[in-house]
């Protein structure tokens, strides 16, 4: 028997919603770079004769103004944020626009013990919030998105589109090293940044099976993250490890380690598995017992359409969650231990 039309009304919205928007960024002007022997503008030759002190002063390069605080923001169906980047030194961020990927990580690690900046951020996760809202508003029709079963697991399409986010929003503070990425002949963007350091986050809600739970949680982690976007290639990465404490007594406190890497290359479409691929892994263990509680494993592939400068992308994966992560009233023996992830994207 065919499903009600209301089910098909929402499905295209959720499947087509993950269109990664080009995120405008408001930033203060880039600091002027000091003149160097390679880039200094030639000065007019002085008249013959001895050089006086005023003439020496005239040929000296002017100092760069100190870096300013910048407002950075991003809009995405899965992760949207606004952040204030506050410099802690008078030195401009080093530029890694021409560096190989591994060299970027090495230099950020080397500088991470000398903090350069403080980053204050507020983030929100639109599609996961939409999933919790729809399940609360109309649970009957939410269940109609079930597309099959696998063992004891109910395969729900909405669960697959919104899975992988355990909170609807967060407030964060980061301190550590930073790097900017520019290339000659390409417009600079304040979003082209890399960071390594320590991050503390807070939130007041937790998501479990697309249900919102009151939970004052906090998180402390060491993190390496960034994005480098140019005409021919885009690279996003995040490597982290930390601990998360839940205020709700029936949610287990965890330690975790995770990584995420996403690459889009318009020049080398099929030559490497690292090109045009996504990888996301997260492992959680109980902080007190050491029990294995959660595993996320998501892979994806992009198909660049060079002529139109867009890319089709599909991420698929699985999330395993041990039932002992939740106890008491939150314990649900009938809850799925496996959730299958399906994330279509259209990248501009």
Nearest CA to 319 out of 221, 207, 225 is that of 207
CA angle 165, 233, 258 (to 5 degrees): 30
| 332 band by pLDDT with thresholds 50, 70 and 90 | confident
- With a pLDDT cut of 70, the percent of the chain lying above it is 80
Supply the pLDDT for residue 14: 44
| 269 band by pLDDT with thresholds 50, 70 and 90 | low
| 293 band by pLDDT with thresholds 50, 70 and 90 | very high
Supply the pLDDT for residue 135: 94
**What would the 3-class secondary structure string for the chain be?**
CCCCHHHHHHHHHHHHCCEECCCCCCCCCCCCCCCCCCCCCCCCCCCCCCCCHHHHHHHCCCCCCCCCCEEEEECCCCCEEEEEEEECCCCCCCECCCCCHHHHHHHHHHHCCCCCEEEEEEEECHHHHHHHHHHHHCHHHHHCCEEEEECCEEEEHHHHHHCCCCCCEEEEEEEEEEEECCCCCCCCCCCCEEEEEEEEEEEEEEEECCEEEEEEEEEEEEEEEEEEECCCEEEEEEEEEEEEECCCCCECCEEEEEEEEEEEECCCCCCCCCCCEEEEEEEEEECCCCCEEEEEEEEEEEEEECCCCEEEEEEEEEEEECHHHECHHHCCCCCCCEEEEEEEEEEC
More confidently predicted of 294 and 229: 294
| 155 band by pLDDT with thresholds 50, 70 and 90 | confident
Supply the pLDDT for residue 275: 84
| 114 band by pLDDT with thresholds 50, 70 and 90 | confident
- Tell me: pLDDT of 186 over 60: yes
CA angle 26, 30, 36 (to 5 degrees): 165
More confidently predicted of 300 and 20: 300
For 250-264, what is the mean pLDDT? 96
Supply the pLDDT for residue 266: 85
| 130 band by pLDDT with thresholds 50, 70 and 90 | very high
Supply the pLDDT for residue 153: 75
What distances in angstroms separate CA 87 from CA 113, 115, 188, 334, one per listed residue? 15, 9, 18, 50
Supply the pLDDT for residue 42: 37
Supply the pLDDT for residue 272: 67
More confidently predicted of 182 and 66: 182
The β-bridge partners of 87 are 117
Residues near 197 by beta carbon (within 8 Å), at least 6 away in sequence: 112, 115, 174, 175, 176, 177, 222, 223
pTM: 0.76
More confidently predicted of 19 and 69: 69
Supply the pLDDT for residue 307: 82
- Tell me: pLDDT of 86 over 70: yes
Supply the pLDDT for residue 31: 40
For 256-266, what is the mean pLDDT? 93
More confidently predicted of 86 and 23: 86
More confidently predicted of 298 and 34: 298
The two tokens of residue 104 are: 């970027």
Per-residue pLDDT reduced to its tens digit, 32-43:
344 333 333 333
Low-confidence winner among 14-23, 169-178, 223-232 (lowest mean pLDDT): 14-23
Supply the pLDDT for residue 50: 43
- Tell me: pLDDT of 27 over 90: no
- Tell me: pLDDT of 24 over 80: no
């Amino acid at each position: 028997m065919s499903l009600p039309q209301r089910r098909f009304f929402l499905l295209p919205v959720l499947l087509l919603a993950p269109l990664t928007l080009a995120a405008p960024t408001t930033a203060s002007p880039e600091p002027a770079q000091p003149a160097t022997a390679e880039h200094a503008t030639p000065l007019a030759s002085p008249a013959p004769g001895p050089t006086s002190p005023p003439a020496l002063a005239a040929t000296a390069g002017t100092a760069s103004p100190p870096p300013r605080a910048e407002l950075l923001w991003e809009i995405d169906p899965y992760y949207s944020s606004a952040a204030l980047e506050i410099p802690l030194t008078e030195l401009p961020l080093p530029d890694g626009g021409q560096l190989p990927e591994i060299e970027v990580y090495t230099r950020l690690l080397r500088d991470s013990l000398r903090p350069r900046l403080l980053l204050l951020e507020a983030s929100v996760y639109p599609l996961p919030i939409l999933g919790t809202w729809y399940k609360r508003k109309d649970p009957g029709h939410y269940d109609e998105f079930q597309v099959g079963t696998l063992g004891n697991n109910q395969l729900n399409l909405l669960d697959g589109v919104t899975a992988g986010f355990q909170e609807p929003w967060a407030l964060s503070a980061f301190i550590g090293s930073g790097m900017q990425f520019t290339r000659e002949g390409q417009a600079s963007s304040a979003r082209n940044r890399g960071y390594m350091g320590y991050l503390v986050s807070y939130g007041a809600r937790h998501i479990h099976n697309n249900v919102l739970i009151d939970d004052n949680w906090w998180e402390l982690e060491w993190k390496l993250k960034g994005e480098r976007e140019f005409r021919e290639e885009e690279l996003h990465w995040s490597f982290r490890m930390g601990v998360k404490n839940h205020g709700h007594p029936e949610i287990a406190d965890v330690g975790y380690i995770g990584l995420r890497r996403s690459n889009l290359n318009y020049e080398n479409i099929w030559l490497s598995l690292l090109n045009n691929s996504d990888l996301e892994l997260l492992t959680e263990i109980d902080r007190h017992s050491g029990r294995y509680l959660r595993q996320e494993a998501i892979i994806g592939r992009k198909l660049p359409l060079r002529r139109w400068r867009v890319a089709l992308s599909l991420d698929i994966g699985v999330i395993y969650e041990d039932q002992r992560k939740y106890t008491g009233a939150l314990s649900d023996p009938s809850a799925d231990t496996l959730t299958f992830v399906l994330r279509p994207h259209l990248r501009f």
